[in-house]
Structure 1
Amino acid sequence: MTPETVIDILREALWMIVLLASVIITPGLIIGLVVSTFQAATQINEQTLSFLPRLLITLIVIIVWGPWMLTKLLDHANALFSSIPFLIG
């Protein structure tokens, strides 16, 4: 196995991590920004008001996009396992 192959496998794994994490984090960031803007406009300083919508949208995203994320992760793992004989020899 060459160093280029190791770097390529690591790059693909890191890209998968970024992709799967961004699917979950991005909607929470957007909802957090909207709620924070609302709080700043109305001068409501309640911490649970910003926490609860982010929690709910994160759970909804995991429920809706969870099967797709699991499929992507399993496809990547299957590709890694099937490439083991080619990487060794």
Structure 2
Amino acid sequence: MTTEQVMEVMKEAMLVAFEMAGPLLILSIIVGLIVAVFQAATQIHEQTLTFVPKLIVIAVVLLATGSWMLNTFDGFVQRLFEIMASL
């Protein structure tokens, strides 16, 4: 396997990781900002107030996009096995 092929596989792995983690992280950041604004406005500084909404949003997003994530990861792993079989 050449260096270019290894770099291509690593590039694809990073893109798949960003593609799968992106929606979760973006929505978690948005919920965190909304809760932070609420906490600043009401001066309620409870730790669980930031954790629980993020947990609920992440669970809902995982339920909604879980099959898409699995298909994306499955396609990547199949390509990896095809590359390994051709060596």
TM-score by length of 2: 0.91
Structure 1 residue identity aligned to 2:38: F
How far is 1:15 from its partner? 1.2
Structure 2 residue identity aligned to 1:30: I
Structure 1 residue identity aligned to 2:37: T
For structure 1, the residue ranges without an aligned partner over 5 or more in a row are none
1:78 is the counterpart of 2:57? no
SS in 2 for 1:68: helix
TM-score by length of 1: 0.89
Structure 2 residue identity aligned to 1:25: L
How far is 1:83 from its partner? 2.8
Structure 1 residue identity aligned to 2:30: I
Aligned partner of 1:3 in structure 2 is 3
SS in 2 for 1:83: helix
Aligned partner of 2:33 in structure 1 is 33
What is the CA–CA distance in structure 2 between the aligned matches of 1:49 and 1:42, rounded to whole Å? 12
How far is 1:33 from its partner? 0.5
What is the CA–CA distance in structure 1 between the aligned matches of 2:11 and 2:48, rounded to whole Å? 38
What is the CA–CA distance in structure 1 between the aligned matches of 2:79 and 2:6, rounded to whole Å? 14
For structure 2, the residue ranges without an aligned partner over 5 or more in a row are none
How far is 1:56 from its partner? 0.3
Alpha-carbon deviations, 1:9-68, whole Å to 9, x = none? 111011111111112211111101101011101111111111110010011011111110
SS in 2 for 1:45: coil
